[in-house]
Amino acid sequence: MPRIKIGIVFGGCSEEHPVSVKSAREIENHLDAGKYEPYWVGITRSGAWKLCDGPDGNWETGRPVVLSPDRGIPGLLVLEDGKYETIALDLVLPVLHGKLGEDGAMQGLLELSGIPYAGCDVQSSALCMDKSLAYVVAGSAGIATPEFWTVRANEDVDPDRFSYPVFVKPARSGSSFGVSKVSRREELPAAIETAAQYDSKVLIEQAVAGSEVGCAVLGNDPELFAGEVDRIALSHGFFRIHQEDEPESGSENSTPIVPADISADSRGRVQETAKAIYRALGCRGLARVDMFLKEDGTVVLNEVNTLPGLTSYSRYPRMMAAAGVPLGELIDRIVSLALTGNAR
């Protein structure tokens, strides 16, 4: 049986570039060479596409390559000496995080190409990337969300309109880049300025009193599989492991507990809420749904990551592994979903 020709795209122009490279390396370590013929495409921070042997330290020296948006010329176009070579692909696995990776931009290019791809489509990717829009849609589906406000980077904001603490964050970013916890009104202007470094649209969100929990979801509606629930135990601040100097060695202020140390009833409620959020936002393939579990049992949406980290220390693969799906099998399921639309 011929191997599946899979294009694995990683890197990218966002602040989450290093996380993406680490995710690709972890996939390389678990990819079944008997099933897949991988074509590694790294995108540099400046936006250059490189066909390389893998996401090692020298990948940026690879050959120039682009993904053809022309369905009559399917696959990759390797550019060399004024000519191009075509490489047909059966599937593209985007391993990109943040802007131009999981916000619908890459998905739009893949839609034009006509090549099947893993993960959420254009609409759900863009919707989940913008936390304020995700809150509006999820709220209309009856899902609890934090109270929130959106402001522009240069907008004059009255700090007395809020009750503290609040979280200030870029509306369209990930991995906690640009996020600040504001406990006093005097801290608000600086927090908005920090968030505005990553996005012109800034979200001010009322802090939710509760445990930070997450759920890995896999599948296409109506057949969804929920991994084990995790809980982030914080000593102070907020979860920001991807900004640690050595995240592989753990976090300075947080410990992920998998399975979460919560009751079976709460675990089931979190999983069902995660599936409801996934469906409401139109997700497919995979996503990690982050939530808050309040003392009264209410589950509140925090955010949805449509291309969650797959590094050795990332939450999504840990939750799936705890549910009996190791990364090698997880890759197989993600590929199957993209090719057939059915989990198996």
Catalytic residue among 11, 16, 19, 318: 19
Token pair belonging to 332: 């197989």
Catalytic residue among 275, 288, 315, 333: 288
Catalytic residue among 7, 42, 174, 309: 309
For residue 148, the tally of other CB atoms under 10 A from its CB is 18
Q: Which residue has the tokens 């931009």?
A: 105
Catalytic: 16?
A: no
Catalytic residue among 37, 80, 155, 248: 248
Write out residues in the chain with pLDDT < 70, as ranges: 175, 235-254, 341-344
Catalytic: 92?
A: no
pLDDT number for residue 340: 86
Tell me which amino acid residue 256 is: P
pLDDT number for residue 328: 97
pLDDT number for residue 175: 65
Cα distance between the two ends of the chain: 19
Instruction: Supply the CATH classification number for the domain 4-117.
Output: 3.40.50.20
Catalytic: 288?
A: yes
pLDDT number for residue 20: 96
20 Cα distance to chain centroid:
10
Catalytic: 240?
A: no
pLDDT number for residue 15: 87
Catalytic residue among 303, 313, 315, 333: 313
Catalytic: 309?
A: yes
Catalytic residue among 11, 21, 22, 135: 22
**Domain range 148-206, CATH architecture:** 2-Layer Sandwich (3.30)
Catalytic residue among 17, 97, 99, 169: 97
pLDDT number for residue 1: 78
Q: Which of 26, 8, 103, 33 is nearest to 318 (CA)?
A: 26
At the topology level of CATH, where does 127-144+209-340 sit?
D-amino Acid Aminotransferase; Chain A, domain 1 (3.30.470)
Q: Are strands 180-182 and 211-220 parallel, antiparallel or unpaired?
A: unpaired
Catalytic: 313?
A: yes
- For the purposes of burial, counting CB atoms within 10 Å of the CB of 184, is it exposed (0-12), middle (13-18) or buried (19 or more)? exposed
pLDDT number for residue 225: 98
> Pseudo-torsion of CA 117, 119, 120, 125, nearest 10°?
-100
Q: In whole angstroms, give the CA distance from residue 227 to residue 318.
A: 9
For residue 248, the tally of other CB atoms under 10 A from its CB is 10
- Sorted by where each begins, the domain ranges of the chain are 4-117, 127-144+209-340, 148-206
Asked if 4-117 and 148-206 have one fold, the answer is: no
pLDDT number for residue 342: 41
Q: In whole angstroms, give the CA distance from residue 165 to residue 168.
A: 10
Catalytic residue among 99, 242, 269, 284: 242
pLDDT number for residue 343: 39
Per-residue CA distances from 298 to 269, 303, 312 (Å): 9, 16, 31
| pTM: predicted TM-score of the whole model, two decimal places | 0.91
pLDDT number for residue 344: 33
Catalytic: 242?
A: yes
pLDDT number for residue 235: 59
